[in-house]
Amino acid sequence: MNQLETLIIPTETVDFNGQPLTVRGFSLSDVTHIVRHHKEVTAKLYVEAIGGNLPGSIEEIVLYMLDDFAPLASMAVATALSSPGQTEKAALIPISVQAQILEKALELTFVGEDGLEKMMEIAARAMTGAASLTSPKA
pLDDT digits (tens, 9 = 90+) for 19-49: 999 999 998 889 888 888 887 777 777 777 7
Q: What is the pLDDT of residue 1?
A: 80
The Cα 107–Cα 28 span in angstroms is 15
Q: What is the 3-state secondary structure (H, E, C) of the chain?
A: CCHHHHCCCCEEEEEECCEEEEEECCCHHHHHHHHHHCHHHHHHHHHHHHCCCCCCCHHHHHHHHHHHCHHHHHHHHHHHCCCHHHHHHHHCCCHHHHHHHHHHHHHHHCCCCCHHHHHHHHHHHHHHHHHHHHCCCC
- Structural domain contains residue 22: no
Residue 74: domain span: 27-120
- Structural domain contains residue 133: no
Q: What is the pLDDT of residue 123?
A: 64
pLDDT digits (tens, 9 = 90+) for 74-100: 999 999 999 999 999 999 999 899 989
Q: What is the pLDDT of residue 81?
A: 98
- Structural domain contains residue 9: no
- Structural domain contains residue 61: yes
Q: What is the pLDDT of residue 48?
A: 75
In this predicted structure, the answer to whether residue 114 has a pLDDT above a threshold of 70 is: no
Count how many domains the chain has.
1
- Structural domain contains residue 16: no
- Structural domain contains residue 21: no
pLDDT digits (tens, 9 = 90+) for 60-74: 776 766 666 788 889
- Structural domain contains residue 70: yes
